[in-house]
Amino acid sequence: MDFEFELTAEHVRSGRALLQWSQADLAKYADVAISTIADFEKGLRIPIANNLAAIREVLEKAGVRFTPEGASVSVALFLMSESNAADLVLQYMDKGVTAVLDVLSVFSDAAEGAVSIAAVQAATPVVKKALDDLVAKHASTTPAIHRLRKFVSVLRDGEHFLVLPGRPASTAEKLACEQLLNRLNNPNAIDEVDGVKALFGTLLERYDISSPRTDRRTVIRSRLHRERKCRFCGRTASEGASFKQVAHAIPTALGNDHLKLADECDECNSHFGKVTEPSLIALLDIQRAFLGIQGRGKNDGRPEFRFTEGKVFHDGKRLNILSKDVSKEDDTGIISVGLGKGSPIVPVDVYRALVKIVLSVVDEEDLAHLSRTIEWLRYGKHVDQKLPAVAAAIVELPPNPSAQITVYRRKAAQSRLPHFVGEFRVGPYLYVFAIPFSTCDSWDLIGFFDDAEFRETFKHYTSVARWNQQDLNGREKVVLSPQIRLVPRQK
């Protein structure tokens, strides 16, 4: 909405300083003479109406906002350390420019309206003390200082971190930043960089990679709350969709309580929770018990699963197996445990549940290429097309209390490589699968995992000794009967 507003010299000076523009820059962008800017800021004259409008327009396009209360400017930074990353937005009204300039001065020299921030910073005691002082001085007007201080305070004294104008534009840029930090903080580990490039170089050229965090609250959303649209059924609130329930990108039974999806309506959330996800959860019952993954329910969410011949549960410290069917091989000492019949699963619903996780976290703009995938996932269409196998393996990876999802998105418009590849991990259990039905794929992807170009690109998968490719095309219920083999530890 329009309102009466008079652009002042102070607005221009402060906006220009925080945008890191010189008078010449502003004059160039607004298509006015440098003397017009200089004389206005000195109070010598007021530009004509057309020039004032042009100056205001370019400042607004660059992020400066003018409200009835005055000028509001946002400065967006991206902080990155070896173990963490955070967006930082410093916003101020025109009279609060001093607070923001004080914050920026911790990382730069801010003098005479010019701000220059070095990308590489170090968490020295001096910097930490300066941030403590800023919190005491400006936290009431610039609350984001709290987040900045928290980010820096947990770093080791002298540890390097990056202050960037925005998130890295690609996975390759992100890796370059990570390698730079590794070099700075671990001077003796420089040789590792070449190994990373050899293993992942081709992959980073061909794919962008995303892996949302599950160790802290992360909400995936593409719209304002009042404008939300379900990414699965496409309905909005005005079309009858409700968004009252909490939707999780990864089921809570798999340890996820932080990664949530705002763009999933209650009806779709209920459908996936009752129809699709139970098969994936049941498939992973033994893995959940072995890892002690906490979900919801009794026993503080610790997993306990009953079978016809026994049960498996985790008591918070160790895995417990009770069974009527136990045998031991005299020559090897291997103990075989039969549990009998467990929960039924529908194989194709396991695949759907994996795909649903990927579609929960991809960018909204990519969903246009996945309309047939959504029809298959949500409404059971296109069932006549065979699905590619899901590759499963056990790998030595660090433990994690929640299941993890990594999404590989192909950069090139045309390629034999799958448009989207998902990598789902529960502890050391890894599942790799292609997202079917994308309009950017020129073939059905059957056998993609053994394709020469795929193996050349995803070299890190070839280092895994054994993959088990599972056919999940079945649409009928299958009752699992797990067998556990306990092998004596080698002395």
pLDDT of 178: 84
> Over the stretch 50-74, which tens digit does the pLDDT of each residue have?
899 899 888 887 767 765 555 565 6
H helices of 43-143, where?
49-61, 97-105, 125-138
pLDDT of 112: 46
> Read out DSSP for 254-321?
GT-SSEEESS--HHHHHHIIIIIHHHHHHHTHHHHHHHT---SSTGGG--EEEETTEEEEE-SSSEEE
Confidence of residue 3 (pLDDT cuts 50, 70, 90): very low
Percentage of residues in the chain with pLDDT exceeding 70?
87
Name the range with the highest mean pLDDT among 112-116, 192-196, 215-219, 449-453: 449-453
* Distance from chain centroid for Cα 477: 34
Q: Flag whether pLDDT at 169 surpasses 90.
A: no
Q: Which fold has domain 9-69?
A: 434 Repressor (Amino-terminal Domain) (1.10.260)
pLDDT of 234: 94
**431-442: average pLDDT:** 97
pLDDT of 239: 92
> Over the stretch 350-371, which tens digit does the pLDDT of each residue have?
999 999 999 999 999 999 999 9
Q: Flag whether pLDDT at 411 surpasses 50.
A: yes
Q: Which residue ranges make up each domain of the chain?
A: 9-69, 73-190
Query: Residues with Cβ < 8 Å from 211, sequence gap 6 or more?
Result: 404, 405, 406, 407
Beta-bridged to residue 320, according to DSSP, are 313
Dump strand ranges (E) for 123-172.
160-164
